[in-house]
Each structure stands twice: as structure tokens, then as C-alpha cells.
Amino acid sequence: SRRSYEFIEVSEPRPGVGQVTINRPKALNALCTPLITELNTALRAFQASPTVSAVVLTGSARAFAAGADIKEMAPLTFSGAYTTSFIESWSDLTTALKKPLIAAVSGHALGGGCELALMADVLYCTPTANFGQPEIKLGTIPGAGGSQRLTRAVGKAKAMELILTGKSFSGEEAERWGVAARVFADYDALLEGALATAEVIASYSRVAVQAAKEVVNKSQDLGLRDGVEFERRVFHSLFGSEDQKIGMRAFAEKKKPEWKNE
Ligand code: HXC
């Protein structure tokens, strides 16, 4: 699965952990369409990889991503955007990978960069990370789920204010408002923290981990009654896995479980 990419770097820095680093420094990691295509390819490869159980997505200390590529979008027409389904491929990012994705955000995460971070399963950042949906300043609106995911994350009052004013918010605020699960002092600590969490996740049964991600994500789409029922169905189905037997037997025998991922 070693491919060469132009706009991203891909590695496996720890056992069970894949890493994608957005690497387009000249444009502060602006997310042009070829970059999103590479990201989709890399996530699909990690999904298929027998050695990877969780993935960390990061940028540089200065920028996670400063948005969709404004220079690419500037000349677009309605009919062009509509007939090519512009931005639709971004949605593949949320389905390509069933394994957990941890975003490690330092620096700018603006517009599409903020939306990309919001697509991750776990979001970590630095206190000075610069989040925001500034599209309104460019005469447009969020187009990759920002109005939906940010609103679910921070509530309507704050999301409406942020999206209508285009004002950014800090990593500290992101944590306080529940957008980020944790803040780390600087980029190095952030990346270390993200990799450490990915390693913890990678130490568990892949079957259970995928199910856990699936049921939590369903909570964003379903009402409570349907969501609880969906969770119970998936919970029941895990009694059909070998790893449930392995995990519970190991507890009773006071041993460390040796997962089969089956
Ligand atoms: C294209 C970008 C870019 C972007 C930065 N660059 N952001 N190119 N698209 N989104 C380029 C600049 O043009 C510049 O290129 C280089 O990166 C460095 O940026 P500077 O502006 O010189 O850096 P600085 O002064 O440090 O300012 C950083 C910044 C600013 C505050 C992040 O770059 C900025 O405001 N960027 C745009 C942020 C934004 O509006 N994002 C939302 C985009 S709309 P040159 O060639 O001049 O050196 C969007 C829509 C999403 O994302 C909807 C669908 C996904």
C-alpha cells in the first residue's frame, strides 16, 4: 500500500496506527480537489490494511488546513459545480474508513479545514488552534457539512453566531464547547497524544471498535428511541463474535485478551 502522493504523507508510526499528514505548506494546506482525492485513497488503503486499526489525521503546526482551495473555487459556475457534484467527494471521507479517525489540529482549521476536522471521530487540538467558518466573508456558506456538524457540536446559538459572523474560535474554546475532546500544549504533545490514543484503540478488538464507532455516529442521524434500538441490535450481534468470548473469558481468568479480530 506504499503509494506516492503529492499533497499528503502517509505512514504507520506505531503498531496498529496509520497516519496521514496533509502536506501542502505553500497554500497552508488548502484542500484542493486532488488533495481530497488523495486523502480518500489513503483512507481506503488504511481501511483495507490488515496492520492498521486506527488512523491519525494531522497537518502542520501552522495549519491543519486553511480551507477549501479558494483559487480553485473562484471561477466556478453554478452549472459547473452542480453537474460535477463539486465537494461531494468530501463525503466519501466519512464512509471510506470504518476504523476510528483522530484529527490532531494545530494552527488554522478554517472553512473546509474546520469541516474536515469535524468529520473525524475524535478531535484533539492545541489551545491556539484557529477554528472557524469564514465562508460568509467570501460571499458563500459552508459546503462540506459545517452548518450541520458544527451546529450539532456547539448548539444552534453559537453555530449561528459563528457562521453568520465568520469569526474564528480558539482550540481552548473548542474544548470548552465540546468540539475538541482534549487540548495539548503544543504540536508535539498533540501528535503524541493523538498517536497514544490511536494505540489504545488499536489494542482492542477491531470488531468491537468498528461497532462502537458505528453506533456513536448513528446517534447523529437517529432519534433517541431508534438510536437506542440500533445500539441494542449491534450489541446483540457482538455475541456472535469470537472476540466477545475472548474478552469476557480473559476477564474471568484474570488474563490479557488475545484478540482474533473475529
Ligand atoms: C487557497 C490559500 C488558502 C485557501 C491560504 N492560502 N488559504 N489558498 N485557498 N483557503 C494561501 C495564500 O493565498 C498564500 O498563498 C499562502 O496560502 C499563505 O497564506 P497567507 O494568507 O499569506 O498567510 P497568513 O497571512 O499567515 O494568513 C493565514 C490565513 C489566511 C488567515 C489562514 O491565509 C486566510 O484567511 N486564508 C483563507 C481562509 C478561508 O477563508 N478559508 C475558507 C475558505 S472557503 P500565496 O501564493 O499568496 O503565498 C471554504 C469553503 C468550504 O473552505 C466549503 C466546501 C468545502
Q: Is 198 in the pocket of ligand 1 (CB under 6 A)?
A: no
125 vs 148: CA distance, rounded Å? 21
Give catalytic status of residue 178 as yes or no.
Answer: no
Q: Separation of 187 CA from ligand 1 center, angstroms? A: 20
Find the catalytic residue in 42, 68, 129, 211: 68
Q: Is 132 in the pocket of ligand 1 (CB under 6 A)?
A: no
Long-range contacts of 187-193 (CB under 8 A, 24+ apart): 187/60, 187/61, 187/106, 187/126, 190/58, 190/104, 190/105, 190/106, 190/124, 190/125, 190/126, 191/56, 191/58, 191/104, 193/104, 193/124
Which residues of the chain register pLDDT less than 70? 1-2
Report the pLDDT value the prediction gives residue 1, as an integer from 0 to 100: 46
Q: Which residue has the cell 484503540?
A: 201
pLDDT in tens, 106-160: 999 999 999 999 999 999 999 999 999 999 999 999 999 999 999 999 999 999 9
Question: On the CB side of 196, how many CA atoms lie within 13 Å of its CA?
Answer: 9
Q: Separation of 67 CA from ligand 1 center, angstroms? A: 7
Give catalytic status of residue 135 as yes or no.
Answer: yes
Report the pLDDT value the prediction gives residue 2, as an integer from 0 to 100: 56
Take atom 8 of ligand 1 and give the residue whose Cα is closest: 27
195 vs 102: CA distance, rounded Å? 9
Q: Separation of 30 CA from ligand 1 center, angstroms? A: 7
Take atom 16 of ligand 1 and give the residue whose Cα is closest: 27
Q: Is 207 in the pocket of ligand 1 (CB under 6 A)?
A: no
ipTM of the complex: 0.98
Q: How many CB atoms lie within 10 A of CB 236?
A: 9
Q: Is 144 in the pocket of ligand 1 (CB under 6 A)?
A: yes
Q: Ligand 1: which of 23, 24, 28, 116 to mutate, judged by most atoms within 8 Å of the beta carbon?
A: 28
Q: Separation of 9 CA from ligand 1 center, angstroms? A: 21
Report the pLDDT value the prediction gives residue 43, as an integer from 0 to 100: 98
Give catalytic status of residue 112 as yes or no.
Answer: yes
